[in-house]
Structure 1
Amino acid sequence: MFAIIIGFTIGVGLPLQTAVNSRLRKAFSSPLLSSMTSFTIGTIFLAIATLLTKSSLGVSGALITSQPWWIWIGGLFGVIFLTGNIIIFPYLGGVQTVIMPIIGQIIMSMLIDNFGWFDSPTHSLGLVRIIGAVLVLIGVFLSISGARILALHHDKMGNDVRFDQPHIPFLWLWRTVGILTGMLSASQTAINGHLGIVLHSAVKASFISFLVGAAALWVIVLLVEHGYHFAPVLHRKSPSWMWIGGLIGAVFVLGNAYLVPLIGTGLTVVIVLLGQIVGSMLVDQFGWFGAQRNPIVLIKLLGILVMLFGVVLIKLF
């Protein structure tokens, strides 16, 4: 029961992190600089956690050269995932910013399982998992378009019903970005899992992943932004909570590292995804952390439940 509570809690925290980091982006006026700040804070937290487990922070040169090159790039995928979520959040809102990456995560995780990429154990694509994938797509359709279709149907029936949705340019482009970042997130999970085996420490693997991501962002920001412009933000009155996104992300990574050996990957994914969906609904419903309010309607909730059932079929069978 304690493991379920942990999984659900860290799942709820992920969409909160996206909302918090989006506020940080607004303060910096730069998704790269806000991502760098978030990653750096998370890296410091994980460095302390690694030292508390009595592990060193370094990696030997022999280990680096003896392992495949892709084992060290999980942090780069994490950078793209985090920055992508910060960019698409203002356009898609809390729920879709969670749903789109989930689609990408499922697609990539099924490919990884089927082909054994990143030295992962193979898990063939059977009928039950295909049915689960179809249910996920149906659930996504209902959660995104169901309310609008119902409203249009009511209009045709002569009822005075309107579904007000702001016009968002390139809406499906942002959704596609979310799917692609989700695919990279699933790849990062597989890579970090293998790195944890190599390093004999999931916590240290999480730290290495964050460190690589933070280092890459410091270089990218220097090249793109021509410096680190912290002064305007530090001298501007901003909410103190906008700095906690990196801590939430680090706790999320640590929570997954703790749960997978305890209750298994499949159950961990399902519980965490349930938390993510609930957290995203709360962010949209109440407009937490400066997010735009987007109230949850019944058909959207139905779509999310259908999608979650599909995830259960994919991950547990």
Structure 2
Amino acid sequence: MNLALYLFLDVLTGMVISIMVVANTLYGQATTMGVSLIVNHTIGLTVLTLILLLGRNKPAIRGPRMKAPWYLYFNGLFGLAILNLNYYTVINTGASLAMASTVFGQSICSLVFDLTGWMGMQKRSLNKVKAVSLTVSLVGILIMAASGDGTFALLFILLGILAGALTMTQMVLNSTLAIYKGAIRASHQNFIGGLVAGLVFYFLLQGEQTLGGLATTAGLPFLLVFSGGTLAVFVVVSTSYVIVKIPAVYSALLLSSSQILMSLAIDTVFFDSFSLPLLLGSLLMLLGMGGNLFADKKANP
């Protein structure tokens, strides 16, 4: 794959994430947040297991099966933390500010990965052009944060930033595991870890509510129940392919921008709601990323 195709895949993944989040939120509202996680991970794990079984003779699906560092196998645990952090951030600050703080966390964390080469990422330098471009992206994030949707609460803003950082870390870890095991098998392991963590956490702390939510699932529309888990498979496998191939900050900004733009389209078409700060902020983020791409192209003609 060339750079343009990787960037397109990031954009597509961000758009799919927006649809997935809407589906998960609606499902969670109809049942509970824990049921949404458990069912989505079960569906995703089932889909990936079938892919591995049917494609066991194909190297691209089977993967290299190399020995991987032990900590990569616990990557799925991040999903439980991210889900809860996002939930409390949205509840206490509003959707726009929660989204802005998460995007900021993703961007900062991705920059750390690029500058340090941490967790197997390629180490990359930061020149003046890139610094200015990242500043433009930061201005876009701040514009989204100033949209006025929600109450400013520093603790929950920090939780949103942490959620973004954990999201980026999970993507990098899964992508690194994919080097050893292949993207499908790495994603399969991710879903196993997330499902086990969700079952233990929610049945121990919210057992009665979780059982009640699972009972409610039988009466819900098929598309609502199955869309979140199925789309999650695409998101996890796609990011496994892309994250280690291009600078992490590109993925963070592209995923975030396309996710926001898709969310704006969904809100405008289906909920008759439009946010100009989110549009301007996401466009500035894309402009800043364009500056980064220009700097890389100039340095490596």
Count residues in correspondence. 285
- Residue 124 of structure 1: CA displacement? 2.7
Which residue matches 1:39? 41
Aligned to 2:223: 241
Q: Deviation string for 1:84-120 (max 9, x for gaps)? A: 3355456666655544322211111111122222122
1:311 matched to 2:289? The reply is yes
- Whose relative contact order is higher, 1 or 2, with alpha carbons under 8 Å and at least 6 apart? 1
Shift of 1:216: 1.0
Which residue of 219, 222, 240 corresponds with 2:203? 222
**Structure-2 residue corresponding to 1:206:** 187
Cα deviation, residue 6, structure 1: 4.8
Q: How far off its partner does 1:295 sit?
A: 1.4
Separation of aligned partners in 2, 1:14 and 1:91: 22
Q: What per-residue deviation string (whole Å, max 9, x for no partner) do you get for residues 135-157 of structure 1? A: 12211222332x66xxxxxxxxx
Q: Which amino acid aligns with 1:104?
A: G
Cα shift at 1:192: 1.3
Structure 1 window deviating more from structure 2 (120-129 vs 307-316): it is: 307-316
Whether the aligned pair in 2 keeps the contact of 1:12 and 1:275 (CA below 8 Å) is yes
Contact 1:95 / 1:284 at 8 angstroms: preserved in 2? no
Amino acid at match of 1:205: A
- 1:210 Cα offset (Å): 1.4
Give 2:15's aligned residue.
12
Specify the alignment match of 2:163 in structure 1: 181
Q: 1:175 to 1:284 in 2, by over 3 A?
A: farther
Structure-2 residue corresponding to 1:161: none
In 1, the alpha carbon distance for the partners of 2:14 and 2:95 equals 13
Structure 2 CA distance, aligned partners of 1:84 and 1:111? 21
Change (3 A) 1:211 1:6: same
Answering whether residue 26 of structure 2 is matched by residue 23 of structure 1, we say: yes
Q: Deviations over 1:33-64 (max 9, x none)?
A: 3222222222222222233331799x99x94x
Structure 1 residues 306 and 49, CA, compared in 2 at 3 Å: closer, same or farther?
A: same
- Written as runs of structure 1 = structure 2, the 5 A alignment for 1:23-172 is 23-28=26-31, 30-54=32-56, 63=67, 67-89=68-90, 96-145=97-146, 168-169=150-151, 171-172=153-154
Distance 1:26-1:77 versus aligned 2 partners, 3 A rule = same
Closer, same or farther: CA 231–253 of 1 in aligned 2, 3 Å? closer
2:261 alignment partner in structure 1: 278
TM-score, with normalisation over the residues of structure 2? 0.79
Q: Which has the larger radius of gyration?
A: 1
Please tell me the root mean square deviation across aligned C-alpha atoms, in Å: 3.4
Mean CA deviation greater in 31-40 or 103-112: 31-40
| Matches of 2:235 and 2:216, distance apart in 1 | 26
Cα distance between partner residues in 1 of 2:191 and 2:28: 19
Q: What amino acid is aligned across from residue 71 of structure 2 in structure 1?
A: W
Gaps of 5+ in 1: 149-164
User: Is the CA contact 2:78–2:166 (under 8 Å) kept in the aligned structure 1?
Assistant: yes
* Superposed displacement of residue 269, structure 1: 5.6
Unaligned runs of 5+ in 2: 297-301
Change (3 A) 1:315 1:40: farther
Q: Verify the 8 A CA contact 1:100 1:175 in the aligned structure 2.
A: yes
Amino acid at match of 1:295: F
- Give the Cα–Cα distance (whole angstroms) in 2 for the partners of residues 12 and 41 of structure 1: 20
Instruction: Tell me how far 1:183 sits from its aligned partner.
Output: 0.4
Shift of 1:277: 2.4
Distance 1:10 1:37 in 2: 21
> Residues of 2 paired with 1:130 and 1:256: CA distance?
25
